Structures are given as structure tokens and as C-alpha cells.
Structure 1
Amino acid sequence: MGARIRDVAVRAKVSAGWVSTYLNSPEKIAPDKARRIQQAIDELGYVRNDAGRQLRRGTSGVVGFVAFDVGDPFTYMVARGARRRAAEAGFRVVIADTEGDSSIERDYLKMFEEQRARGVLVSAVDNESYLEAAQIRQPTVMIDHRSNSGRFSSVSVNNVLGGRLAVDHLLDQGRTRIAFVGGPISIQQIGDRLHGAQLAIGERRGAQLEVISTEDRDTAAGRSVAERILARPPAQRPDALFCVNDTIAVGVLQRLLTDGSIRLPEDLAIIGYNDVALESFPLYPLSSIRQPQEALGRTAVELLLDEVDATAPGKRPHVVFDPELIVRQSTLSGDGSAADVISIRPKPT
């Protein structure tokens, strides 16, 4: 059994009340007494039990972040933005990785509520219906999802616009046989990107869009897609790929660059989504749709702080960011040194 407050008090030759005061308001303790208490804490290895304090107070200084996949670069950057903003407000962010499993997601939501987390940020697997069914009572903000009911604050990116930007760019480069790569389409963000791609295709006569679905969204899935494309006769191959994230696009690039039979971007242009590939795969500049990841995380915490201060129920705000088109070598002939950026503006709705 670990040392207790009264053990520290005996060692420091003070009352337990003085130890408690030192732990909560050290500036109220005389320097000599404070030195003795700290020395006793160090000698006994006393560790403060925050759980009891949190239960008595009803809340903690922790903000939960229920993440779809912490290994995803997009999620990492969102979480970093959230952590930095939360720290400015005196909170700590604890990240829980659901690995894309909705049952794990529910378990973590319950755990954060039981631990009296100050609030929770949810990068969800499912839509908000299960949040409502679970009767979540703590302040909650949905990330990269929109709350259709208005019960939860939410922040997201206009993925329909992102899909349009990507495919419009490919069409402007003279591509007519475009493949949308990724999945599952049932995921809201991916479905929205496909919808945007379809809208762009529908406005261009003679353009075609096929869907190459994948269950996973990692580099292995991208390499598998590349194998499938290589197996086709050249006349039946797409001349452009719109990948739902940079990770899949990098997998495609890895396999095609190793094979060497398809010229990039002359035979096949490739654009990704999230604009994180240069950090993990700097060998080939990839065009991409950039999302303001850190801004998403910071904004989510801002909305959560507003939730904490809210005194009455009501429709919660949603903030949506517009993405940017970043053009690099993978979709341009020549040296690919140019970059075309469309500015973003956050807008509450």
C-alpha cells in the first residue's frame, strides 16, 4: 500500500490538514514547513490520488479524445491542435484509440463519463444517433462530423467540396477516365468525397468515374489497388486516381514507381487527400486536398469550452472549414514545382 497523507504528515511533523493545504495551495504554507512536507513526499514516494478529488468535485481536468485511428496522420494532427488549445485552458487531453471499432468507442465514452472527464471530443465511427441513445451527459463535440440534430457542437471539413476540387483539377489536366479509390463508402467523409467527385464528373461531357473500393485505407490497400491496375490492359486503365487519403495514394505510388511500366503523371495522374504525404513519403511530390487539421482540433476545444460554460440547452453550433487544393508533380507534367492553393475560411452555420 502506498503512502497516505497522514504518513506524510507524521514524517514532516505537521498536521494532515497542512499537507492537504500544501498540495492544493502551496503558496499558503510557510517556506520551512513547505520544505519539510515536500521532503517527506519525496522520501515516502507519496502519489496524490486525484480520483477522489475529482469525484468530490464532480469533474476533472481531463478532456477525452475518442479517436477513430490514432495511427492516421490526419487524426494525429487534429489531436495535436486539440492538446495545445486544451493546455492553454488548463486541461489535459487523453486520447483513446478505437481502431475503427464502434463497440470500443462506446466503452471509452462510458469510461470518460465514469471518470468525470470535463468533456469529450469524438472523432466517431458511427453517426450521432448512438451518442443520443447512450444519453451522454458530459459536454461533447463531434470532430469531422456534422451534428444533424443540433444537439452536439461539431466541427468538420466540407468534403463534398474537397471531392469536387480534386476531380475538377484532374479534369482540367485533360483526364477523362478517373478512378475514385478508397472506402468503405458508408463512412460519411468518404461518401461525401465521392459525392463531390460525382458532381464534378457530371458537369464534364465524356468524362467517366469508376469506384475502386477498399476496406482499409493504408499503404497496403494502395499497393493492392496498384496491382489491380497493372493487371489491366493499358487501354482499360484509368488515366487518373483520386485517393480518399494520402496513405492509399502513397501505397499506389510505391508499387507503380517500383514497377516502372506506367509513367507518372503522363499515363496516370494521382491526387490524395489530407496533404500529409510529404512527411512520410518525400520521394515523389503528391498533389492533395489539404485539411486544416490543427485548426479542427483547436476549434473543437473552443466549442467544448463553450459547452462547459453553457447554462441552458439549445441548438449547438457547427463550424465547417473549406479544404485547399495543393497541386504538385503527381498531377502535373514538367517539374511539378508549382503549387496552386485555394484559401480556406472557417464559417459557423
Structure 2
Amino acid sequence: MLNRRAFLTSAGAALISAPTVLRAQTTPSKKLRIVVIANRNHEADGLMAALCNQMTHSLILSAPYNVDWPRWPRVQSDPPAPTRDPGVPRCLIDVFAFQSDKAPTIATIEIWCIDDLAVTGGKSDKKVTAMQQITNYTNPASTPDGVIAFGTAAYPGLVSNNGCASIGGTMFIHDASNGAPGSWTWPGYMDTLIPSKTPASFFSNVSADQKTLVAISSEMIAPQNRPASVLQLIIAADAVGISSVNEPPPYCDADANSIMKAKQAGATNITSVETTHGVIRSMWDKPFIYVTAIPNRLCHFPDEAQSVYAQEFPSSHNAGVALKYVVPYFVNAIAQ
């Protein structure tokens, strides 16, 4: 039997060995700017918990620095909270060219949360306005070189994948309000499959690395309600994330309709159904992936996930674990 110390050693070795793919690349002429954008506070908190844990830290990544966390929700009726600058990320993390190197730093990852930037009330147009602060964060203002959308979403089907994480690049955005006045839209991109500029090698390299996939699974925490029989990363180049925007209740009907339209447009592997991934995708025409935490099956948010800490936190944490492992592959793919 593999004892705990031996298991952690082997898992750590997998974490450290996987990002050596960066050794084969040509160091980019400039340091890449990678932004990771979570939607809600509780999603970003699960992500930060995974990134800031010391138990299995990747030697290809720096420790988080300029850490501004925890943060409390920006609720207008609350008494004044401790002074914070909302226009800054929760932390920065550097990606090194080689394991344990301090230089050259080939990319810097910024961890952002839309809830930190503004009180949006769930409105997509307000989220777009808030995310302009991310562009303006650098001086001079600059668009990122790579974009990662992070958040919770439902997974379609009767079989539970609760607690798993999914990664894809293609988005499908549907206006669930059918064009009601004031609805947000992305002209020219609604109701069509929007491909990612992320090279297919990113998906194939992660999918082929069994050590990395096993290491990710070994750090995932089972949620309370209907956990998947196997906690794992679900990743594929043909994976599609659906963003059902301007969505009125009942959400189940709107989401099911968005799925139907996505399939009519050619989607065959839907792994994420929510709202904000597509809104984030609309901000910058750059290499993009979504990293989705799965706390519930489609149409089962009220009974499986809604406001359940023991469901939402482990799911977000697990997606954070997956992101931590795959981000060096993402940097490598877009730096070619």
C-alpha cells in the first residue's frame, strides 16, 4: 500500500514534472500578460485557496505576490469596509522558463474578480464596463496576451460531474431575453460558435499527460451533494461553453433552449452552461480558455448547489487546482 508520504511525493513529482514542457519553447520576446477573471466572490475565493496553498506548489510558478485577499463583497448598503483599491488583481504569479528559476520570467498571471471591480447586479453590460479596469491596470493601458475565464457552471446530462472541472475554448452566446430592451449583446457573435485562438496543442498536450491528470484528481475535494463518481479534469479541444445571457427565470428553461441552439449551430461536446464566460470572451480577441467549476447538474442548481458552501467552495477549489496545473501549458502554447 502506498503510504501518505509516498503518495504526496509522487503527486508532487507529477506537478513538478508536467510543466517541463516549457523547456522546449523559445522564450518570448516580451513577458506575456495572462489574466484570469472570475465572476463571483465565492468563485474567486475557491481559486485563491488553491493557488495560495503551499502543500503542492509548482516550481514552474512563483509564489503568489501582491496578494490582496480576502476581500469582502461590495454591497452598497454595508458599512464602510477597510479601504482597498478595487482596480487591482487579487494577486500576481510569475511563470518561469525553467523549474525553480527566478529568471527569465516568461509570463505574469493576474487573478481578477468582477465582483471586486463593481456591483453589477448580474448585468452583462455592467460586467463589460467593470472589466475595462483590467485593460487600464497597466501603464500604459494594454490588452492581455491570454485570457482565462473562471467560474461555476452547470454540466448537462443526468450523470453527475459535481466537483469536476472542465476546460475548453469555444464559446456559444445566446440572448435568453430574445432581444428585450436593454439586453446586452455582442454584435456579429451571438448564436454562433466562437472559436478560441488558443492553439489545439494546449488541449492535446494536457490531455496526453496522464501524470498531470492524476495529480489534478488527487488534489480535488468531493462536494457534499451528488459528487461525481470520479473527480477529474474534463478537457477537450472541441469542448463548448454556453453563455446564456440576459437570462430571466426560470433558468432551467432558458439554459435548455440555449443548449438546443448551440447544438443546431454544431456543438457536440458541451461542458459548461452559465453566463459570464462568454461575456469575458467578448472583451479581448486573444487566446482564450474557460476553466469551469462544476457544482451541479443542469437544472439542479437550487437543490444541489445554491448557497451551499460545502458544494460551491470545493468545486471552485477543484477548478483552481486544475488551473494551477494547466496554466504553464497555456503559456507555452500561446508563446510559440
Q: TM-score range by the shorter chain?
A: under 0.3
Q: Higher relative contact order at CA 8 Å, sep ≥6: structure 1 or structure 2?
A: 2
The higher radius of gyration belongs to 1
TM-score normalised by the chain length of structure 1: 0.25
